[in-house]
Amino acid sequence: MIMARDPESATVEVDLPADFDEFWAETLRLTDEVPPDPELVSVPRMSTPAVDVFELRYTSYDQMRIAAWLTMPAGHPPGTAFPAVLHVPGYISEPSVLKSWSERGYVTVGLAPRGKLRSNGRFNPGYPGLLTHNMVDRFTYGYRGFYADVVRAVDVLATLPGVDPDRVGIWGSSQGGGLGIVAAALRPEVVRCVAAGAPYLCGIMASPGWTHSYPYEEINEYLRVHPEHERLLTETASYFDGLNFAPKVRAPIFVYLGMEDDVCPPETGFAVYRLLESEKELHTYPRCGHDSGLRWVIPLVEKFVDSHLHPEGVGA
């Protein structure tokens, strides 16, 4: 008999390493030692009369040069400071050019962390490949630099001309949802709100037991070849699991889940939501998969972000 799943009540446990905070403080210290050297290059062919588009590049952990798309409202008076939103793409997705958000009064960054196109000159594990890249060692695990790239993007965005550093938020789904939680936990003094859909990288080692979809199937495949490494993978994953970052989030957060998600099991979404201690709201969508109710939820995401960042002319 096949037992019905009960995602809301499922138990997802992740050990919290004793040196979790020290590991991430050292990672950020090493990142902070690297001058970011941000560079903005105008891209007229992608711009419109209402929105200016730029290619943004900055230097991150281990001297990696990272690319992103930046959009901002066109024709603004000198000294204007806009709210800003960082968008982190999904696992296999490339960064978005969020012109529609700039039309509503935001500066946006669509990020390409290491391994993504334009940021893969020195690091390119492939997709699949990133999730288990050097996963036997937390110090060289591929996601260590990837996480640092997102945190540095928050720092760079908050200091760019035209950005109000007191109005910075994060929005993303899947990998973007998980990394939004991570960045909000590591930069609580900067991030003012987070919208996280179908958060990936939460319950990392539990998820392969609920799904055989990628990316988590990478772990199943790796352990079929290297079963002796399960302890090492579990130990490394505990330093990167969103469940261990969630209690450190201080910003208001909007979480949305698809109840039939076969990529990021909803069990893990409920688990991370329970651990969030900041102001929070949860939206669930029956009969929706990894899209997490995208058709219905985007207006709610925009309303949530607007309510906290107050773009000019939108619910000020």
**Who contacts 248 (Cβ-Cβ below 8 Å, separation ≥6)?**
185, 186, 188
Considering 60, 102, 119, 174, which one is annotated as catalytic? 174
pLDDT of 1 strictly over 50: no
Predicted confidence (pLDDT) at residue 92 exceeds the cutoff of 60: yes
Q: Each residue of 31-53: pLDDT tens digit?
A: 999 999 999 999 999 999 999 99
Q: Which of 290, 291, 292, 306 is catalytic?
A: 290
**Residue 174 annotated among the catalytic residues of the structure:** yes
pLDDT band, residue 202 (cuts 50/70/90)? very high
Whole-angstrom Cα distance, residue 52 to residue 278?
Answer: 34
> Pairing state of beta strands 64-73 and 82-87?
unpaired
Active site residue 290: yes
Position 123: which residue type?
Answer: F
pLDDT at 3: 47
The encoded tokens of residue 304 equal: 């949530």
Indicate the helix (H) or strand (E) that contains 28. Answer: helix 20-32
Is the peptide bond prior to 95 cis by the omega test (within 30 degrees of 0)? no
The Cβ of residue 158 has, within 10 Å, a number of other Cβ atoms equal to: 19
With a CB cutoff of 8 Å and minimum separation 6, the contacts of 237 are: 14, 135, 204, 205
Asked whether the beta carbons of 85 and 73 are under 8 A apart, the reply is no
- What does the block give as tokens for 105? 């009064």
Out of 149, 261, 291, 306, the active site residue is 261
Q: Which range has the worst mean pLDDT, 77-81, 145-149, 161-165, 274-278?
A: 77-81
pLDDT band at 4 (very low <50, low <70, confident <90, very high): low
CA distances from 7 to 172, 175, 224 (A): 22, 20, 27
Beta-carbon neighbour count of residue 73 at 10 Å?
20
Q: Who's near 73: CB < 8 A, 6+ residues apart?
A: 50, 51, 52, 82, 102, 103, 105, 106, 107
Q: How do 64-73 and 253-258 pair as beta strands?
A: unpaired
| Domains of the chain from N-terminus onward | 16-306 (3.40.50.1820)
Structure tokens at 64: 């990696």
Model-wide pTM > 0.75: yes
- Residue 316's pLDDT is 38
For CA atoms 180, 182, 187, 192, the dihedral sign is positive
Taking residue 19's Cβ as centre, other Cβ atoms within 10 Å add up to 11
Q: Can 278 be counted among the known catalytic residues? A: no
pLDDT more than 70, % of the chain: 97
111 or 94: whose pLDDT is higher? 111
